[in-house]
Amino acid sequence: MTTTVRESPRYIVRPPEPAALRLEHLSVWYGRHQAIRDVSFTIPARRITAIIGPSGCGKSTLLRALNRMHDLTPEARVEGSVWWGEVDLYAPSTDPVWVRRHIGMIFQKPNPFPKSVFENVAFGLRVNGYRGDIAGRVEEALRKAALWDEVKDKLHQSALALSGGQQQRLCIARAIAL
């Protein structure tokens, strides 16, 4: 399918961006407290999207809803839909573990495992039964997270010895590896 972009002196009409995720009427409760009310929007694919707002407005609650982390919180309840392509992540037939394997979370505060740099990145691959070139995937993920040059000689040292920024990029590499 070919899409044309028409230009005029006043505006440019572009085709709609493909969606990475689509939220439809998403609401989240913690017990009787409604933390998010009827949120609907699309997160475009291959774009950086920022969710900003004051402390306590529901940003983290919204992000946790994207990979069903609220399933692990007693008294939390989610209504509405989160679509990843054609998959409704909250459909009864959708396995939450499958969702979390495909949609990773990197938190503001880095949380490396008390293992070596290499084992931090390889951990998810091993847990998920990956049987390919683990060393190659670890290197590729560290490169994509802009950390390889800083740790290539420290792969077997503790990840906890890295600086805060390096730990954050290590957590990003851990998600990329999967």
**Residue 34 confidence (pLDDT):** 96
**3-class DSSP string for 96-146:** HHHHHHHCCCCCCCCCCCCCEHHHHHHHHHHHCCCCCCHHHHHHHHHHHCC
Of the pLDDT bands very low, low, confident and very high (cuts 50, 70, 90), residue 77 is very high
In this structure, are residues 56 and 110 in contact, taking their beta carbons and an 8 Å threshold? no
- pLDDT by residue (tens digit) across 138-154? 999 999 999 999 999 99
Return the percentage of the chain with pLDDT > 70, whole number.
91
Q: Where are the domains of the chain?
A: 13-102, 117-177
**Residue 142 confidence (pLDDT):** 98
**Residue 9 confidence (pLDDT):** 53
Q: Using the predicted structure, report yes or no on whether residue 96 has a pLDDT greater than 70.
A: yes
**Residue 49 confidence (pLDDT):** 87
| DSSP three-state, residue 153 | coil
Of the pLDDT bands very low, low, confident and very high (cuts 50, 70, 90), residue 104 is confident
In this structure, are residues 28 and 65 in contact, taking their beta carbons and an 8 Å threshold? yes
The model's pTM is: 0.69
- Arithmetic mean of pLDDT over the chain: 90
Please give the CATH topology (third level) of the domain spanning 13-102. Answer: Rossmann fold (3.40.50)
Give me the residues paired with residue 76 across strands.
30
**3-class DSSP string for 33-71:** EEEEEEEEEEEECCCCCCCCCCCCCCHHHHHHHCCCHHH
Helix 134-144 with 117-127: angle, nearest 10 deg: 120
Q: Using the predicted structure, report yes or no on whether residue 156 has a pLDDT greater than 70.
A: yes
Return the percentage of the chain with pLDDT > 90, whole number.
69
CA dihedral 72, 73, 75, 76 (to 10 degrees): -90
Of the pLDDT bands very low, low, confident and very high (cuts 50, 70, 90), residue 11 is low
- Interval 169-174 mean pLDDT: 95
> Which one, of 93, 9, 70, 82, lies nearest residue 39 by Cα?
82
Give me the residues paired with residue 42 across strands.
22
**Residue 81 confidence (pLDDT):** 95
| DSSP three-state, residue 17 | coil
**Residue 137 confidence (pLDDT):** 97
- Interval 6-16 mean pLDDT: 59
**Residue 167 confidence (pLDDT):** 96
